[in-house]
Amino acid sequence: MTFNYQNANIHYNVRGKGPAVILLHGFLESATMWNPLIPLIVDKHTVITIDFPGLGKSEPIAEVHTMTMMAEVVDALLQKLNIDKATLIGHSMGGYITLAFIELFEEKVAKIILLNSTSKADSSERKAIRDRSIQLMEKRPKAFISMAIGNWAVEDSREKFKEDLDFLKNQAYTFPVEGIIAALRGMRNRKDRTEVLSKFPRPKYLLLAEDDPIIAAKETGKLAQQAGVEVKIISGGHMSMIENQSALISFVQSALAH
Ligand code: MLT
């Protein structure tokens, strides 16, 4: 299904019955990343997925897709569906957007479940990497996508989960170049939302992976615990949905059940 947001077609899907859960994918991903989880939670929940603007099948909106703007797109979808309260589950960039959402619409959120994500802003080193990524994306998009997705998984996983990682790469090659760049700019410019996370008064969970090259597990876990978040650290790299699927799914199921 699609809806129109600022003249862009945004793809979404709704399945199941029960309390609403909205699944927010990460950078270079789309709603397809949730396919292994959906059948396991759809009996007891209304499960909503979305492709963020400029990723998946959704059209880009602007030159910079800020986390706030993406949170506003999520809100527009929930309003369209007449949903006034939902649990948000966000992977990585989807987690940054979850935090932007609670900053704006805290009263609409029942619970948050963050996966391989952080409340921290980009460090200056990371901002410099974003700038180089944008340059590479402008010149050699396929090389950037292949390298980025390849680097997210730990070395062991690269062969073991080659098919899933190749699926992700091939899917991302079809995304509009300007959409990917807009998301890179949005992540680069995002602010620190540790305070926002800390103030959120309802249940909050964070799953981290020991060898995640993007989100440092120990440091991020400590910070989140100080913000009152229930944290679990599992093995593997940044792509827990692929690299440690059973642990991710049981974490989400138990967080949803509490
Ligand atoms: C993601 O998986 O959404 C991104 O890798 C997050 C990031 O680059 O900060």
Tokens at 69, concatenated: 């703007």
Give pLDDT tens digits for 128-155: 999 999 999 999 999 999 999 999 999 9
In one-letter notation, the amino acid at residue 191 is K
Cα dihedral sign, 60-91-120-227: positive
Determine the residue of 168, 187, 241 to mutate for testing ligand 1's pocket, defined as the one with the most ligand atoms within 8 A of the Cβ atom. Answer: 187
Give pLDDT tens digits for 92-104: 999 999 999 999 9
Q: Report whether residue 187 contacts ligand 1, using a CB cutoff of 6 Å.
A: yes
Q: What integer pLDDT is reported at residue 40 of this predicted model?
A: 97
**Residue nearest (by alpha carbon) to ligand 1 atom 4:** 27
| Beta bridge partners of residue 91, listed in sequence order | 115
Q: What is the CA radius of gyration of the chain?
A: 17
Q: Report whether residue 78 contacts ligand 1, using a CB cutoff of 6 Å.
A: no
The SS3 assignment for 109 reads: strand
Atom of ligand 1 at shortest range from CA of 117: 6
Does this model's pTM top 0.85? yes
d(C-alpha 17, C-alpha 44), whole Å: 6
Q: Report whether residue 27 contacts ligand 1, using a CB cutoff of 6 Å.
A: yes
- What distance in angstroms lies between residue 92's CA and the mean position of ligand 1's atoms? 5
Q: Which of 242, 239, 33 is nearest to 151 (CA)?
A: 239
Tokens at 257, concatenated: 């059940």
204 sits in which H/E element = strand 204-209
